[in-house]
Amino acid sequence: REGEITAPMVDKLADHHFPLCMKTMHTALVSNHHLKYEARRQYGLFLKWIGLDVEEAVKFWRTHFSNITDDKFTKEYRYNIRHQYGLEGGRINYKPMSCIDITNGPRPAKGDSHGCPYRSFSTENLVTALQKMGITDKQELATIKNNVDSHHYHVACTRVYELTHKQDKTVYVDSITHPNQYFDRSYAAMK
Ligand code: SF4
């Protein structure tokens, strides 16, 4: 998909195709014009793997980091974006984080937006987020909450995918284990 996804497309893609973790970071970025290091890493690598190439990634972050000068952006952030694409430093082609990597990674503190929301959100915040995604059925919300309470975050996320992608008629045997898998299913179902 490299070259197919451009910086201005990301807002719309976030609405329809991103799992809750990536939606949460995207929303925080849009509201705060900034994301902290761990969120930049999780979200940046996810975007790289949906097909945002490095030039579009630089444009994307520059547009959203609208409260800083070009000089500050170049000095503090451009290098790290290029680093994620293996174009600086040790030139490693970094892979996006799986659900296990994310849930086992650093827990978000107050004001952080990274991590798996099924694990880190309070029940109230999770229900609000799910309602915003159009899930209002009390029974479904209760089932998702039960999955979360039993620490089956990927099961909750898979159910949310099913409820928000009724147009996707593919029968999947495996549940969601990677944010990019969620995106790939959703994006393919749109075509
Ligand atoms: Fe993201 Fe995975 Fe959590 Fe879903 S289960 S919100 S894809 S980390």
Tell me the per-residue pLDDT of 13-63, one tens digit each, with 9 for 90 and over. 999 999 999 999 999 999 999 999 999 999 999 999 999 999 999 999 999
The rounded distance, in Å, linking the Cα atoms of 126 and 131 is: 9
Residue of 157, 158, 160 to test ligand 1 pocket, by largest number of atoms within 8 Å of CB: 157
Name which residue sits closest to atom 2 of ligand 1, judged by CA.
99
67's tokens? 């409260």
97's tokens? 């984080």
Host domain of residue 62: 1-191
68's tokens? 């800083």
Number of separate helices (H) and strands (E) present in the chain: 12, 0
Domain count, the chain: 1
ipTM, two decimals, is 0.99
Residue of 46, 153, 163 to test ligand 1 pocket, by largest number of atoms within 8 Å of CB: 153
Per-residue model confidence as pLDDT tens digits over 60-100: 999 999 999 999 999 999 999 999 999 998 999 999 999 99
